[in-house]
Amino acid sequence: MLFALNATGMQAADTYEKTLQTGDEHQFAKMYTEALADYDTALGQAENDTERGLALSKKAYIYAYTLKNYPAAKEAAENALKLENTRPVARVTALQALAECQMKATPKDYSAAAKNLETAMKLEGVDWALPGLALSLGDCDRFAGQFDEALIAYKRVLDSTAAKPDLKGIAYLNMGLTYQYDLSNFDQAKESYKKAVELNPALKKEIDEHLARIH
């Protein structure tokens, strides 16, 4: 059944599943205020902890990665993780969003972020999330000054059959940044940037700016 549309966008539905899907569609359309409202509505419609945790984790993801509202993201993620009877699908995004807060908000706690990401990667049935988690772990290691570990994590993204080309392109970009700015290995940086653009052409402008700094 298709969702009803009008001039103001998609309308929240009368069941949890439909409301959650409408929220996802709003998020995909970059209508974040509407998506957050949908997830709040879904919370009211949820019948178990897994459903509540999933709605909360989706809110946490928008706050952490899009709106950069780390206090709100942390609150939503922690509330999701407090729920006892949740399946891994409801926990993995909350752990990733919480780790993002711990990496980006002040004060930073890279050790706690890495622990949360590693916990998420050990959950059952979340193979689809492993490439994104590995990318986040690589960033965490890099920010913490653990550059060799960061490169290992980025390479896990490249070796993953579940990772899409654009995500692998980002992994190559981040490898290039590590080689260029942290390890001063400019040849490896250039090679990584080249592969990044091949996989994700949208990164070319950003990569050109980094290449211009290599003499």
pLDDT in tens, 114-161: 999 999 999 999 999 999 999 999 999 999 999 999 999 999 999 999
Domains of the chain and CATH, by start: 128-215 (1.25.40.10)
Stated pTM of the model: 0.89
Strand, helix or coil at 9?
Answer: strand
- Residue 1's contacts (CB-CB under 8 Å, 6 or more residues apart) are 18
Rounded Cα distance between 103 and 134, Å, is 14
Residues pairing with 10 in the sheet: 5
174-197 pLDDT, tens digit per residue, is 999 999 999 999 999 999 999 999
Q: Are 58 and 66 spatial neighbours (Cβ–Cβ below 8 Å)?
A: no
Q: Are 183 and 201 spatial neighbours (Cβ–Cβ below 8 Å)?
A: no
47-61 pLDDT, tens digit per residue, is 999 999 999 999 999
For residue 62, give both structure tokens: 């928008």
Among the residue ranges 13-17, 55-59, 141-145, 169-173, the one predicted with the least confidence is 13-17
**Mean pLDDT over the full length of the chain:** 94
